[in-house]
Chain A
Amino acid sequence: LGDVAAIAVCIALPMLVPIAAVAQALYPRDAPKQPGAPSWARERAALPPFTPPRTPEGTPNLQGRWTGPNGGDDIEEHDYVDVSSPPEETYISDPPGGKIPYQPWALAVQAQHRAGLARGWPGEKARLYTDPQTFCIYSVPRATYRGGFEIVQVPGYVMILYTFNHYYRFIPTDGRPHALAADVKLWMGNSRGSWQGNTLVVDVTNLNGRNWLDQVGNFFSEHAHVIERFTLADANTIDYEATIEDPKVFTRPWTIRVPLRRARPAGGDTYADEPWENACHEGNEATEHNRSLGFKWFKGAAVP
Chain B
Amino acid sequence: MTRHSIRSAIVVIGVLLIFALAPDPGASQTPAAYTPPRTRDGHPDLQGVWQALNTAAWSVEDHPATLGVPAGHGVVDGGVIPYQPSALARRNEHFANRATLDPETKCYLPGVPRITYMPHPFRIVQQADRITILYEYLHAVRYVFMNGRPHPPGPIDWWMGDSRGRWEGNSLVVDVTHLSDRTWLDRAGNFHSEAVHVVERYTPAGPDHLLYEVTLEDPKVYTRPWKMTMPLYRRQGANNDLLEQEYDCYPELLEQEWEKPDSALFGRP
Contacts and interface: CB of A to CB of B under 8 A. Distances in A.
Interface string B234-263: 000011001111101011001100110000
B109 interface: yes
A135 B250 contact: yes
Contact of B159 (A152, A187, A277): A277
Interface residues of A, number: 41
A283 interface: yes
Interface in B84-126: 107-109, 123, 125
Interface string B120-137: 000101010000101000
B4 interface: no
Interface string A138-153: 0000000000000010
- Dominant SS among interface residues on chain B: loop
B244 A274 contact: no
A275 B143 contact: yes
Contacts of B267: 288
B254 A297 contact: yes
Contacts of B248: 137, 186-187
A186 B269 contact: no
A62 to B, nearest CB: 15
A180 B244 contact: yes
B12 interface: no
Contact of B109 (A135, A282, A296): A282
B245 A186 contact: yes
A287 B254 contact: yes
Interface string B131-161: 0101000111101010101001000101110
Interface in A54-112: 56
A290 B198 CA distance: 37
- Dominant SS among interface residues on chain A: loop
Contacts of A132: 251
Contacts of B159: 277, 279, 282
Given A18-B156, A170-B134, A184-B245, A281 B108 contact: yes
Interface in B30-46: 40
The interface centre, meaning the residue of B107, B141, B143, B255 with most chain A CB atoms within 10 A of its CB, is B141
B167 interface: no
Count class of interface residues, chain B: 35 or more
Contacts of B269: 282-283
Nearest to B141: A166
Contacts of A299: 255
Contact of A170 (B123, B138, B266): B123
The interface centre, meaning the residue of A210, A270, A282, A283 with most chain B CB atoms within 10 A of its CB, is A282
Given A166-B141, A170-B243, A297 B258 contact: yes
Contacts of B139: 165-168, 188
A187 B251 contact: yes
Contacts of A301: none
B68 to A, nearest CB: 24
A291 B255 CA distance: 11
B107 A291 contact: no
A180 B245 contact: yes
Given A135-B251, A274-B145, A297-B259, A172 B246 contact: no
B134 A168 contact: yes
Nearest to A167: B139
Interface of A: 18, 56, 132, 135-137, 152, 154, 159, 161, 165-168, 170, 172, 176, 179-180, 184, 186-188, 190, 210, 270-271, 274-277, 279, 281-283, 287-288, 291, 296-297, 299
8 contacts: A159-B134, A161-B132, A166-B140, A179-B239, A270-B152, A277-B160, A283-B269, A288-B266
5 closest A-B pairs by CB: A297-B258, A166-B141, A281-B250, A277-B158, A179-B239
Given A161-B132, A282-B269, 12 more contacts: A135-B250, A152-B132, A159-B132, A168-B141, A170-B123, A176-B239, A186-B245, A187-B251, A271-B149, A279-B158, A281-B107, A283-B269
